[in-house]
Structures are given as C-alpha cells and as structure tokens.
Structure 1
Amino acid sequence: MGLCANGTLLTHDQDSYADDALPRHFPQQEYAWRSDQLSACTPGRRRQPDMTGSRTEIPSTTGVTTGVKPVRVKRSSRNLRRMIAILENIEYGALEIVLPSGRLVTCKGTGKGPEASLIIKDADAADHVFSRGAIGAADAYMSYDWDSPDLVALLELMARNRTAFEPLRRGGMLYRLKNRIRQKLHLGGSKGRARRFAGHYELPNRFFECWLDPEMVYSAATYGLGNDLAAAQKAKLHRICTQLGLKQGMKLLEINCGWGSLSVLAARDYGCDVTALTLSETQLETCRLRAHGHRQDNKVDFRLEDFSAITGTYDRIISVEPFGMMTEADWPNFFATISGHLAEDGLAYVETTTIRDELFDSYRNSLDPVREYIFPGSLLPSYGILDDVVRDAGLTEAGYADIGGTYVPTLKVWQRRFQTMWPEIMMLGFDNDFKRSWELFLAYAEAGFRTGDLTLREMLLAKGETGSSG
C-alpha cells in the first residue's frame, strides 16, 4: 500500500488511478451508455465495462513510487493511451470512443466523413492491436474486447483515415516479418487452391442457404427498383448470359461454378452444352441435384476439377469471383488457361473484386482479417496488375465495367439475413467466434466497396486485338 502523487491511497493490486494522472486529452466527464449501443453490442465473454464511473482504465504511464517498491502500469494500459492518442489524429469524420470505465473520448476530424463509435470493453484490445495489427484487432473483436453499434461505419472511418490508422494496422516488426514468411509459404497451384477452397466452401451448404438467395449466387446482385435479393440475383445471371450472347448449341465452360445456378440457367434457358468446375465436393453434390431438379443432367457436366486440368475448346468461358482461392502466382496460369481453351472467335466473362492500385503493395505485404479467417492465403489483384496479366496471356478486353456499387446493397442484405438466421446457423455447430468473424468479413467488404478501396470489375475477354470499350 502506498500514496500517489496527489495523496490518494493505492494498494499494489489496485487497478485504479487518480484523475490528475490521466493525460489531458481525456475529457473529465462520465458517459451515459445509450440504450441503442447496449442493445447493438452483444455482452462479451470478457469483463464488461465498469459502470460505476471509476476512472481506472487509462492510467498514467509513469511509475508511482511507494514506500516499498514502484507500482508500474500494466502494458495494456500504456498501449491504450497510445492507441487513443493515435485515434485523435483522424482527419475525416468523427469517432466516439467509450473506454472500459464507461468514460467517453470524442475525436473529430476537420473534413466530412462517417460518424462511428468504438466501445473498448477491455484494455487488452490495445495490446492485440500493437502486437499484431489488423489481425490483432480482429482477434480482439472476436474475443469481445471491443465492439461497435455500427461496424461498417467504423471500418469506413478507418479506411478514410488510412494515414492516421496506419500505426495500428501494421502491427509490430516481428509480426510483420512472420507474415511475409507465411505468405511466401502459401501453396500455389492446384493443391494450394484445393486446400483454400475446402477451408471456405466445404462449410455445410445449409450455412450458405441461410443467408444467400434461393439460387445461392455468391456475388453482387443486379438490383432494380423494388427488387428483392432473389430477383436481383436472377437478373444478374441473365445479364451475364446476355452479355456473352449465349445461343443454342454453344459449348460453355464455367470455372468456379459455385452451387451451379448459372450453369443450369445457361443450359435450360439458352440451350448451351455446359462443363462446370468446382473444387468442393459439397458444392458438387448440390450442383448435380440442381441440374437433376431442372432436368438438365444431360446438358450440364459438373466436375470436381481444377482449371489446370481443362481440355478441349469452348465458345464461351465464365468465371465469377475466382481469385478468392488464388495466390498471385496462380493469376498468369488462370488467364493462360482461358486463352488456351477459348475458341478463336470466342468470348470469356471474368468478374473479380480488385483493390486500388495505390494500396496494392501495402495489401500484398500484410494480412487482413478476410485473408486470415475467410479466404486464407488468397490475394486480390489490383486494377493495373489485372490488365497486365490479361494482356500477357494474349487476351484483350472486348468490354469492361466497374460494378462495385452493386455489392453494397447485396452485402447489406446478406448481413441482415445472417443476423436473422443466426439461431439456425448456430444449430449447425458454429460458435460466437465464427459469428463475429463473418460479421467482420461482411462489414469489412461493405466498407471497402463504400470507400472505393475495393471494386467489382467485370471483363469480356477475347483473343487478338479487338480493342476495349467501357
């Protein structure tokens, strides 16, 4: 037991500090928790915020000398102070931070931007962030060390204040070194793709059925006025078929066919003879059942096969969102395969999420929660790099469009359906860590498309020099 500088009694095991030990930028006011925040943030497994008004979580980093030995502030408290000081440097929008004690810190930029709230439930969250960057922040979220009533707004604010948040995103030096080594060890080729595919798409079909549309289309929908998700996804499938000019008797190849809706539609409504590839046994079973249900067994050949095993020539080739399963080394082989198996007068449709060119190097050399938990080992291309790889494969863009805006309403619907169906999803054997990892994935993606850091690019590819048009 000893005395603080202001005479306050302090025991060695007491996690409490006086007001004048707080840095000046922490306002000396209490925060009344709003009911909407309390209802939006699920109570965590970690300790809940102290509602008594004690100001114990943001102590001074100065050792307090007692009559026996100095009492040192634990690292999490020091890191929390550092983190708050960094967050105060935002340039756009506003951020309300609720500290573990229930106190409020407000950070405001000079420019317009999202308004978001960050509720820190445990000071250990700061330790996770400074040691392992974005992955540490994700782990802390899944452990309920922090929360937000509007996760998309918070992630969008972080994206728009990239410079301010950079020290928090990158993590410690040792962690960054380990990340680079890990990424170099990720397997390319068919074995690596099969492993990554299994980690995502071998989840029970019922999991995806709970929140996707009845056709189980796992990409951005084409919304019109008043369209619901089911109608919007059907519109998307027909739009792809129309863009390719599908006709009776055409030989069509679909790479990464998902649960088979597009292949079955192309056979049933457009008369194509379809070969469709997946690396998921679970998907393959659903695909064949779908074809049988629509009496298209003799028109669609679903195969458990990697694109590297393709034989023959096709009038049309389709691949929607294939890069979630690929490393950077796979990209040239993918487009070379399309070029090698596309008829001379054929067309290919490729749709993929891309990242902004100026962000690519940083993205490539670090990890984010999506690449850690949802699509392990994958890498999205940038716009410019995608152009280079396509050209090197002997293909040219006969047409292209950026349709990233269509992902925002789609992701909103997916998130809402995911939350509504969570009780049923939980019965499949998934826990709250799984739930929060997918919440983070869906919010992370929506924020990326909102800010333009991500976009969805669709390309019509042909052989030879046909020129391109938007």
Structure 2
Amino acid sequence: MSAEPVSLELPMQREPAAAASLRAGVAKQILRLVTRQVPVDVVLPDGALLNRRGGSRTEGRPGIVLQRPESLFGRLAENPKIGLGEAYTAGDWHAAEGTDLADALAPYAARLSGLVPGWMLRLSRLVDLPIPADQRGAVEHTQENISAHYDLGNDMFAAFLDPSLSYSSALFDRTRPVVEQNLQEAQLRKVNAALDLAGVGAGDDVLEIGTGWGTLAIEAARRGARVTTITLSVEQAALARERIEDAGYADRVEVLVQDYRHVAGTFDAVVSIEMIEAVGERYWPDYFAALSRLVRPGGAIALQAILMPHQRYLATRNSYGWIQKHIFPGGLIPSTTVISEQAGRVGLAVTRTDRFGADYAETLRRWRSAFLAAWPSIRSETFGEEFRRTWEFYLAYCEAGFRTGAIDVAQIRLEADGRDRS
C-alpha cells in the first residue's frame, strides 16, 4: 500500500452531489451485505426487506425499520462509526414493533469482528476521524470532558439511577435469581466488593479517584476508614458532600474537585470505579504512575474497568466514534493486556481480576427502562426529543455490547510487585 492514503476529497470537490450519491449507494450495498449475515429483519418503508429478496418478516425475529433509508445511507457513507447512532437520534431508523432496541443491536454486536470483509476494514482510514486534540486527556481539557457528561444535572441522573446514585455496573448475587434483586442492593454489593478487593478496613486512609455521588466514600467511612475522594464534576461534588453529611460521615470524608495528577500524600488503599476509561490513552502512564505513587507499601489498588478484547483495542484506539462524540468525550476503553502492561511499568502487578459483564447488561437494561419511564419528568427545554433518542441508543448500544461479550467489565486488584520504585 502506498505511503499516502487515497483521498476522496478531489472527486467530492468536483461533483459533490454525485460523489455523495455514489458514497450513499456504496453504503447501501455494504449495509445490505452486512445485514444478510445477521438474524435481524431490516424493513424498508414499502415493507420490503433490505436483507432478503421477497417474503416478509420472520416471526419472532428482531426487526429494524428504516424510516428514511436514504438519509441513513448518507450518514453511514459520511462516517459509519458515527452515522448509525446519529441516524437513530434523527429518526432515520427505529426498532420494529415488538422488538426491543437492544435485542435488535445484540446480533450485530455478537458478530462485530466478522461482519465487514477485511478489504473494507483496510479502507476504514478513509472515513476514520482522528480523535480531537481536546479529547486526549490533557489536564486543561479533562474537566471540560467530564463536565460534558456528568454535569448534565444531578436531577437528570437521579431520575433513572437507583437511590445509591451509582452510575457504574452493579454486581448481582449469583446464588439468587436476578429478577428477585433490586438494583440498589446490587450496587452496594459492587461497592463493597471493590472495598474488599482493596482490603479497606477500620483506620485505613483511602483515596477514591472518581467520587460519583459519594456512595463508595460513605461505605468506606461506614467501615471506619478515612476517605479522600476526588472528582472533576462540580455538580457531583456538591451533592456528594450533602449525601455524606446526611449519612453522618462528614468528619471522615473529604470531597475535592481535583485532578488525580495533583493529589498529594499516600494511602493504604486506592479505589477507582470506571474512571480509567475517561483518562485518555496518552495519559494512562500518568494515571498508573499516580496510582503507584499514591499507594503505601503493602497497600492495594482496586480498579473497576470496562474492557474490550486487546485486538479490538488495537484496531480502534486511534479512531473517533459515536460514544466519544456524543456521550463520553475523551474516553477510551482499555484491555486487560494494556492494564497489565501499564501497571508493570510502574512497579504494580495485577493479582486478581473478577469479571461480570452480564451484570452490566442487566444494569443498563434497568437504567434504560427507568430512563424511558421517567422521560416525562426529564423532558425540558434542555433535554428534548433528540436527547431522549441519543440516550436511549447509548444505553441499548452498551447493553448489547455487554450482553454479547463485545465489551466486559471487571474489578482488578493491583499490588506493588516488589521492585524498588524510587
């Protein structure tokens, strides 16, 4: 392959309408090819099926309706990694009657690595967008990226989260049917599992990186620990302080609006729940160096991290997708290989990994159900129909990924590996 990538700019400048039409036509044929491999009926406005000649929908099979197919094809032609979600937000397509959105997306997630032929993947750089400079994790941009998501408003999140206000995967009791367990008890089980993994007990000094709304800090203080918890979300910090005070632990917990790179001192345990995904790959060395610096000899670190297979991480690490554009600016999901490598470079070792991806799928299913049920109270001038459809797609898209194993979540224990870190 030549050193410089082939460019689509010249023909698009000469004949923009013709070029756009050509690209949309190609996108249509690729979509037809992809959908033929997946047991989901794709229905055109006239009732015909995009992925099968003749016939009608198969009973019991998930279905997708293309309300405005040409608009969808145009968005996919412009950028397939972003266009599908933006097309859902715009109303170009929707789940068929009787089909749950996650059920429609899951068969695609399950076949993610084999849907598109290799030659098409090699052309992906023609449509891949680079990660914007302000989403690469630099200190001056990190607070903006965090605020873009978490400062949407405490009331918005409270409308669909459980009373613990935990916005990360719950951990369900595998000895009991999931339907018998409420989300709050499963979230507290997750929190206490992370504290157990880090060995948090009475008298310990604990650092939490990523406060959320204060539940983990409260549970650690309940054990008799002294807690410093940091966040970059001003709104989260304010409510976390209120909840900590109401729980009676204001004397044991300090909430700081601070970047992890600026924390001073050392701690018996460091706990961080689904924070690493927001760090940005460029700054993972800084993050792990901070973990190594902040934990005392003999102490432990507990990370809860969303994960992807290493090969998929390598294939997507430099591309810009829908989730990054519309939900989590600056985010990148690591693999266990990356975590082990980064930890090893600063004298830390992974000593335990507990995976529970299916629990995240169930957590997301419950969040989406609660979000849609609460929508009449969330809807406002700030949160309109496009916001609802964006968040519905986000929650269903992630649920499908966890349900099929395309992505996973785990609690990971890190300890000093015995090398001199001075």
| Common fold by TM > 0.5 | yes
Query: Do structure 1's residue 367 and structure 2's residue 357 form an aligned pair?
Result: no
The size of the alignment, in residue pairs, is: 383
Find the aligned partners of 1:294 and 1:393 in 2 and give their Cα distance: 37
Letter in 2 for 1:335: F
State the SS of the aligned residue for 2:331: coil
Q: 1:171 to 1:346 in 2, by over 3 A?
A: same
- d(CA) in 2 for partners of 1:287 and 1:243? 23
Query: Per-residue CA shift, 1:196-232, capped at 9, x if unaligned?
Result: 1011111110011011111111111122322111111
2:247 corresponds to 1:297: no
Q: Take 2:301 and 2:136, find their aligned partners in 1: how far apart are those partners?
A: 27
Match for residue 232 of structure 1? 186
**Over residues 336-387 of structure 1, what are the superposed CA-to-partner deviations in whole Å (9 max), with x where a residue is unaligned?**
1111111101111111101111211222132322111110121111221111
| 1:266 to 1:106, Cα distance in 2 relative to 1, 3 A | same
Task: Tell me, in whole angstroms, the C-alpha distance in 2 between the residues paired with 1:361 and 1:341.
Answer: 29
1:349, 1:416 → 2: CA distance?
Answer: 30
1:175 counterpart residue number: 127
Query: In terms of Rg, which structure is larger?
Result: 1
1:157 maps to 2:107? yes
- Residues 1:418 and 2:363 aligned together: no
Change (3 A) 1:422 1:350: same
Q: TM-score, normalised by structure 2?
A: 0.84
Report matched runs for 1:120-269 at 5 Å: 120-122=66-68, 123-148=70-95, 149-162=99-112, 163-165=114-116, 174-176=126-128, 179-180=129-130, 182-183=131-132, 186-224=135-173, 225=176, 226-267=180-221, 269=222
Stretch moving more, 122-131 or 362-371: 362-371
SS at match of 2:409: strand
Structure-1-length-normalised TM-score: 0.76
Q: For residues 1-80 of structure 1, what are the structure 2 equivalents within 5 Å?
A: 78-79=25-26
Matched residue SS, 2:302: strand
Identity of aligned residues (%): 27
Aligned-partner SS, 1:157: helix
What secondary structure, in the 3-state scheme, does the structure 1 residue paired with 2:115 have? Answer: helix
Gaps of 5+ in 1: 1-72, 109-113
Q: Is 1:430 aligned to residue 383 of structure 2?
A: yes
| CA positional deviation for 1:95 | 2.1
The superposition leaves residues 144-203 of structure 1 with CA deviations (integer Å, 9 ceiling, x where unpaired) of 011113321232222233333469999975532xx12x4456343322221110111111
Is contact 1:115-1:157 (8 Å) kept?
A: no
Are the aligned partners of 2:237 and 2:255 in contact in 1 as well (CA < 8 Å)?
yes
Judge conservation of contact 1:133–1:172 (CA < 8 Å) in 2: no
Q: State the Cα distance separating 1:290 from its structure 2 match.
A: 0.8
User: In 2 relative to 1, CA 84–175 (structure 1 residues): closer, same or farther, beyond 3 Å?
Assistant: closer
- Indicate if the aligned counterparts of 2:308 and 2:335 stay in contact, CA closer than 8 A: yes
Q: In the alignment, residue 284 of structure 1 is paired with which amino acid?
A: A
Q: 1:185 to 1:295 in 2, by over 3 A?
A: closer
Question: After superposition, where does 1:353-364 map in structure 2 within 5 Å?
Answer: 353-364=306-317
Tell me, in whole angstroms, the C-alpha distance in 1 between the residues paired with 2:415 and 2:407: 25
More helix per residue: 2
Deviation at 1:77, TM superposition (A): 7.6
Runs of 5+ consecutive residues of structure 2 not aligned to the other structure: 1-19, 54-59
